[in-house]
Chain A
Amino acid sequence: MTKKLHQNQQTKHNPVLRPTQHRARIIQTLLKQLFCLFLTLLVISPIYLVFINSFKTKGEAARMSIALPTEWHFENYTKVIEDGKLIQGFTNSMTYSVLSTAVAVLLCAMAAYVMCRNRSKLNTMLYYFTICGLFIPVNFVTVMKVLQTLRLAETRAGLILVFTSSMIPFCVFTIKSFVSSVPVELDEAAVIDGAGPLQLFFGIIIPLLKPILATAFILEFMGVWNDFITPLYLTSKSSMWPMNLAVYNFFGKNASYWNLVFADIMLTCLPVIIIYLLGQKYIISGLTSGAVKE
């Protein structure tokens, strides 16, 4: 609003420049729009290519054209669900993503809350100790060794624990910065009313943390869903493979059947795309909480 006013003032001062300035602005907007449309095309076309070719026959898909299929072969999808063991992959991916993320978000919320509220020397040290993990790479070779020692190798529980542990630094980091915006007075009032730490945390704090918990949950859920390297190292039985790995192996066996590979890819991406479109505002707010703070 103020910007507009200011522009008007300026054009009043220079009445001669008005028409050319106006035209320059229109051309500029037009160029910007064209540029953005071009980029949109760049982003969309690979996804479109996958979508359209997933309905073609093997021969037609091999040509990778962007033309519509001559016949729509919806049965590609049923075939791939059976041959690619996608039901099993989907169940595995869901189990890993939901369980590991839920456990991590809950535990990290408790830890981040205490680290934020009780800034003793020990807690502060533990906080920085934890977020060092943001940078440290997971050494999967020795993770396997640890899992073997604990008799958790090749088990779903082991894999879930590894996923959970690897997201702890990020969850503690994001949740802690949010906790500091929740007023301490609420805690004090609850304590005066006789609430214990568990009642206080689950009854009063958790409901207030909902937005950041949603953000952490969505981001980490997608992280596990998209994670390829962890199951690649830690699972050898195909019955434990998440969708990701199932697709990769399906591609290895059927590299020339691009129609089926693409159908497989569509089905793997669908859950994350749906979650993205539904939870977009949480994703953006979570990503950006750090960027605006300083």
Chain B
Amino acid sequence: MKKNKIYPIWFIIAPLILYIVFFLTPSLLGVWYSFTDWNVRSKGIINFIGIDNYIQIFTSNIDYSSGILNTLKFTLISNIVKLIPALFLAILLKEKLKGKNFYRTIFYLPSILPFLVIGLIFKSILNFNDGLLNAAFEFLHLDFMKQKWLSDLGVVWKSIYGVDAWRGIGYVMTIFLAGLNAIPSSYYEAASIDGANFFHKLRYITLPMLTGAITINLVFGLTYGLKVFDIVYVLTNGGPGHATEVLTTYSYQLYANGAYGMATALNTILFLITTVLGVMIVTYMSKQEVRND
């Protein structure tokens, strides 16, 4: 069969053009503009200024570099906070348990809701004076647990991780469940006969057999964490002060203030981090594919 005739290349062209024009070109243009003084007043005259934007990012009195660090911190911690509980939850819901399908449906539900809406809801729940959370602690006579969830410097990140986990754990759990369902139950039976306990089984059967699901969760989790915007923007808008700013919130502020060159410089830093990560993962995946073929 003439493959190029039956499977013509023009089937690929339309999405490829869209992808290049509206997705890739902006990112690459961003690299170029990050070396210019492009801003809201530059009416067509844009000057090349070398690495001035980058120098400013790391020396300005607005602490952009802490925004970069916060992004990395969020990526790391939010994933730990979601992946580990989600794994145990998936193990729990894999076993015989009445109503497990109901629980699965409910636990996944938050991850379909718009982030913006979740942010608004939790803004009200975490309110110090009349929020539901503090009211619940008061009701349970646990007044010492009451916190200024969104304005106390020591607590605000925990609130963000909490809300993020509330939304995301069900999603991670669902992917783990699919991985668990593919492990033959005979493995566990054999291990039981040999006297293996829960942790032996987890270490020697579950985790090694779950690499596919773990990879998927890590890939989605890492890219999500690096690009995080909505939840921080709506919950704290980077506050109190600039304590919870991440790369994307700083970039949006700069954009809103018309400092486009600076904004693209920040985006370019994010672009570099994700591209390095992405190329590593795609290379790994293409090797896997070759092995499977």
Interface residues of A (CB under 8 A from B): 2-3, 6, 29, 32-33, 35-36, 39-40, 42-47, 49-50, 62-66, 104, 107-108, 110-111, 113-115, 117-118, 120, 122-123, 126, 128, 130-143, 145-146, 161-162, 164-166, 168-169, 172, 187-188, 191, 197, 200-201, 222, 225-226, 228-229, 232-233, 244, 247-248, 251, 258, 261, 265, 268-269, 272-273, 275-276, 280, 283-284, 287-288, 290-294
Contacts and interface: CB of A to CB of B under 8 A. Distances in A.
A46 B123 CA distance: 11
B260 A135 contact: no
Contacts of B144: none
A139 B27 contact: yes
B16 A111 contact: yes
A140 B256 CA distance: 12
Interface string B168-188: 001100111111011001100
Contact of A139 (B9, B12, B122, B267): B267
Nearest to A261: B120
B92 A32 contact: yes
Residue in B16, B99, B260 whose Cβ sees the most chain A Cβ within 10 Å: B16
A47 B118 CA distance: 9
A133 B120 contact: no
Interface in B144-162: none
Q: By DSSP majority rule, is chain A's interface helix, strand, loop, or mixed? A: helix
Contacts of B11: 110-111, 113-114, 197, 201
Contacts of A233: 252, 255
28 contacts: A2-B185, A6-B193, A42-B166, A64-B130, A66-B132, A107-B15, A110-B12, A113-B7, A118-B6, A128-B286, A132-B275, A132-B282, A133-B24, A136-B278, A137-B27, A141-B263, A146-B21, A168-B19, A168-B23, A232-B252, A248-B120, A248-B234, A251-B120, A269-B113, A273-B109, A280-B105, A287-B178, A290-B212
Contacts, number: 290
B107 A115 contact: no
A132 to B, nearest CB: 5
Given A62-B130, A128-B282, A226-B116, 13 more contacts: A39-B103, A44-B106, A49-B132, A110-B14, A126-B12, A141-B33, A142-B33, A226-B113, A228-B116, A265-B121, A290-B212, A292-B179, A293-B212
Contact of A114 (B9, B182, B215): B9
B18 interface: yes
Contact of A136 (B4, B15, B23, B174): B23
Contacts of B229: 228-229
Contact of B114 (A133, A161, A169, A225): A225
Contact of A130 (B19, B98, B175): B19
Contacts of B233: 228
